[in-house]
A and B are shown apart, each in its own frame.
Chain A
Amino acid sequence: MSDAALDFADSRRALLGFTGRLVGFTLLATLMFIWLGPVLLVVLTSVKSNNDFLAGPFALPTHLTFEPYLKVWFALGFGPLMANSFLYATAGSALAVILALVPAFTLSRLDVPGKKVIFGIILTGLMLPQQTVIIPLYDTLRSLNLLDTRLGLIVVHAAYGMPAQILILRGFMTTIPRDIEKAAYLEGASDLQVFWRVILPLSIPGILVGFTLNFIAIWKEFVFGLVLLNSEANFPVTVGMLKLNSDRYMSVFNLPAAGLVIAQIPIVILFILTYRRISEGNFAGATKG
């Protein structure tokens, strides 16, 4: 679906006079300043040398340096941190999606009695504040010897990612026309066959959206990583980055700034690849109904 068709105003030019356009551009400039400004400033700071940094926050660097990147990469050990985050985000999201597929199928395509109640129960998991479960999780994982293990964190991420995935996938599967599977059922196909041959292939775009959103969510996640892990070797980027706010890095800002950029690069790449999908209809639309 194209956006233009959904806009209730027809075209900018027809609608707005000179003043209107001036107002539009002023608003645009303000929004860009507030939302893009800080990000650009951090990028600018990250390529400054120590001396350039002391010249003031807006001073342009006399020469570009990538030394802060190298320094902070090794000082914080971004290599292992990124690898960990990548593992948690990929494995956690994949598991969450896999766990969510059949429930989404069942709750969207089959007439389960008490569907709404079941769905409602599952959704409460989505709204649960993490802090209310963090102590039991900590204690349970410890007694299972899964505290401070990568596996433990992946399982936790998958379990808490599942409700959102059911929500998204169910929303997506509801939009698939009924006729397609009716034909299959008439030919005597089982649930499994319909799911595997008909619904699953058609759900791939929804799966991608769900996976991407979950990936970003896990990449951003902090509380579970902080409490359920101990060794730096297992830390994800968010927990490892906490170190940047110690005075050994905060003396000259090019190091933390470079660290911020590094931490965001994978998401930027993902964001560029999938932005149109996740920002539009699918994302917000998935939560409807």
Chain B
Amino acid sequence: MPFKMSLSRRALLAATFAASAVSAICAASPPASAAPVELRYFYRAPWPSSEVYANYLIDEWNKKNGTRIHVTGASVDGETYKTKQTIELASSNPPDIFYSWEGGRAAEIIKNGFAADLTPYYQKYGWAKALVPAGVSLATFGDKKFFVPTEVGASVVWYRKDLYEKLGLKVPKTWDELMANAEAGKKAGLWPFMLANQKKWPAQFMWSAILVNKFGLETYDGLVSNKIPWTDPRAVETTQIMADLSKKGYFEPSFNSIDVGPAMVPWSQGKALHWYQGSFNLGRFRGENPKCCVVPMDYFPMPSFDGHKPVMSVFAEDTIMIHAKSQHKDEAAEFVDWMVSKQAMTEKLVIDKPFPSSTEADLSGLSEMEQRLGKDMANAGSFTFMHVDHATPPAISDRFLDAVQGVLAGAVTPEEAMKTTEQEAIRTRGKI
């Protein structure tokens, strides 16, 4: 480690003494007092911008504090992260700070003893006040807090404003109105819904939104928290609704082999009317434009079936944990505090994508629609839900996603699909 000019004179003096003393004995390496604490930050980078932003965070930090606490980053892309995380966390030299998930995946990490209890740091830095309430409640397991959300997201029905106008459609208030709009779109030669389900996770967004808005949030919570089995008629019926949409041709052709990225092309070309997806796609919708979006579009929450106020899905998209075995938890917490600071969060909007988890971040640079969505998310409070692959452990959610994809393809019936999911769930968590 080279000496930095910014070292204080006293430190330098001390270091010189120590160095000469040590070298006098055994001609060893530079003294410990001069070496900064080394932190490893292991993160998931599903987007090109994720890496750019992480580099910004690390570089800025090291510029200011590098002589005291030095951070190095290592990234893995979105898909690989799921498997690599376990291996990395269990290794003999685990990262100090790492990207995590919420819900069931987070619970798994906590259960295996990898996550440090962050409750004291929440108090020390006052994170609970600065962060979006839904995010904080997601971070709370029992009476302890285990992660810090750095990005929150919501799933909504995105719709093409121009096509709605052309077809003379109104924003639907109920499920039936939405279906009527979809049918009108289909008659006009459009794909009523974009699904882009090649990677299996997109279809669950719609699935859980339908379930929550038809059978209520308690039903969904019961499912993902192992109180209601997956073979419950309500889960089967929701799957059946998805299957019917597929049978009616409400999704784009070959939806099981189209990925979300490529689907942006037909979406931009105006081939589809709706797309139920997460707000993390806003970066894509924005395209090369400074503000959202490339094409005229807006959103509405998935309407409820009986005309009640719809429940919007708000989730923590990026969450950060500190490793329980880290030797430098206090220093790590300092870095995490920088990650959720106003400066870092505002910069996230410039480099990365919405939405920052801090209510202090300046959203004024966003389009009117994005600002509105940001407010809706903050107002959703803790009255919200995560999607299945966040809420349940990987083994269950993978089987579930597989099964839903199979149903949409016509390979299995909804009953069978939920039965396989339940079998897998029994294997993981036991019978209910």
Name A residues whose Cβ lies closer than 8 Å to a Cβ of B.
54, 75, 142, 145, 147-148, 230-233, 242-243, 246-251
Query: Which of A75, A148, A246, A251 touches B265 (beta carbons < 8 Å)?
Result: A251
Judge whether B261 is part of the interface by a CB distance below 8 angstroms.
yes
Establish whether residues A230 and B199, one from each chain, have CB atoms under 8 Å apart when the complex forms. Answer: no
Name B residues whose Cβ lies closer than 8 Å to a Cβ of A.
46-48, 74-80, 84, 87-88, 91-92, 199, 259-262, 264-265
Query: Which of B77, B87, B261 touches A250 (beta carbons < 8 Å)?
Result: B261
Establish whether residues A148 and B91, one from each chain, have CB atoms under 8 Å apart when the complex forms. Answer: yes
Hey, which chain A residues are within 8 Å of B87, CB to CB?
A: 147-148, 230
Establish whether residues B259 and A247, one from each chain, have CB atoms under 8 Å apart when the complex forms. Answer: yes
Known contacts A142-B91, A230-B88, A246 near B46 by CB under 8 Å: yes
Known contacts A243-B77, A248-B46, A248-B48, A230 near B261 by CB under 8 Å: no
Query: Which of A54, A231, A250, A251 touches B74 (beta carbons < 8 Å)?
Result: A231
In the assembled complex, how far is the CB of residue B260 from the closest CB belonging to chain A, in whole angstroms?
5
Establish whether residues B91 and A246, one from each chain, have CB atoms under 8 Å apart when the complex forms. Answer: no
Number of residue pairs A-B, CB distance < 8 angstroms: 44
In the assembled complex, how far is the CB of residue A255 from the closest CB belonging to chain B, in whole angstroms?
11
Hey, which chain B residues are within 8 Å of A230, CB to CB?
A: 84, 87-88, 91
Residue of A nearest to B78 (CB): A246
**Chain A contact residues: over half helix, strand or loop, or mixed?**
loop
Establish whether residues B47 and A248, one from each chain, have CB atoms under 8 Å apart when the complex forms. Answer: yes
In the assembled complex, how far is the CB of residue B269 from the closest CB belonging to chain A, in whole angstroms?
9
In the assembled complex, how far is the CB of residue A79 from the closest CB belonging to chain B, in whole angstroms?
15
Known contacts A230-B91, A232-B74, A248-B48, A242 near B80 by CB under 8 Å: yes
Question: How far, in whole Å, are A54 and B265 apart by their CA atoms in the complex?
Answer: 9
In the assembled complex, how far is the CB of residue A146 from the closest CB belonging to chain B, in whole angstroms?
11
Hey, which chain B residues are within 8 Å of A249, CB to CB?
A: 261
Establish whether residues B84 and A247, one from each chain, have CB atoms under 8 Å apart when the complex forms. Answer: no
Hey, which chain A residues are within 8 Å of B47, CB to CB?
A: 248
Establish whether residues B91 and A147, one from each chain, have CB atoms under 8 Å apart when the complex forms. Answer: yes
User: Could you give 10 example pairs across A and B, Cβ below 8 Å?
Assistant: A142-B91, A145-B92, A246-B46, A246-B79, A247-B262, A248-B46, A248-B47, A249-B261, A250-B259, A251-B262
Hey, which chain A residues are within 8 Å of B261, CB to CB?
A: 246-251
Hey, which chain B residues are within 8 Å of A250, CB to CB?
A: 259, 261-262
Hey, which chain A residues are within 8 Å of B260, CB to CB?
A: 247
Establish whether residues A232 and B75, one from each chain, have CB atoms under 8 Å apart when the complex forms. Answer: yes
Known contacts A75-B48, A230-B84, A247 near B199 by CB under 8 Å: yes
Question: How far, in whole Å, are A233 and B46 apart by their CA atoms in the complex?
Answer: 17
Establish whether residues A251 and B264, one from each chain, have CB atoms under 8 Å apart when the complex forms. Answer: yes
Question: How far, in whole Å, are A243 and B75 apart by their CA atoms in the complex?
Answer: 12
Hey, which chain A residues are within 8 Å of B92, CB to CB?
A: 145
Establish whether residues B91 and A232, one from each chain, have CB atoms under 8 Å apart when the complex forms. Answer: no
Establish whether residues A246 and B77, one from each chain, have CB atoms under 8 Å apart when the complex forms. Answer: yes
Hey, which chain A residues are within 8 Å of B262, CB to CB?
A: 247, 250-251
Given contacts A232-B76, A250-B262, 12 further A-B contacts (CB under 8 A): A145-B92, A148-B87, A230-B84, A242-B79, A242-B80, A243-B77, A248-B46, A248-B47, A250-B261, A251-B261, A251-B264, A251-B265
Select the residue from B46, B75, B92, B259 with max chain A CB neighbours within 10 A: B259
Question: How far, in whole Å, are A179 and B78 apart by their CA atoms in the complex?
Answer: 62
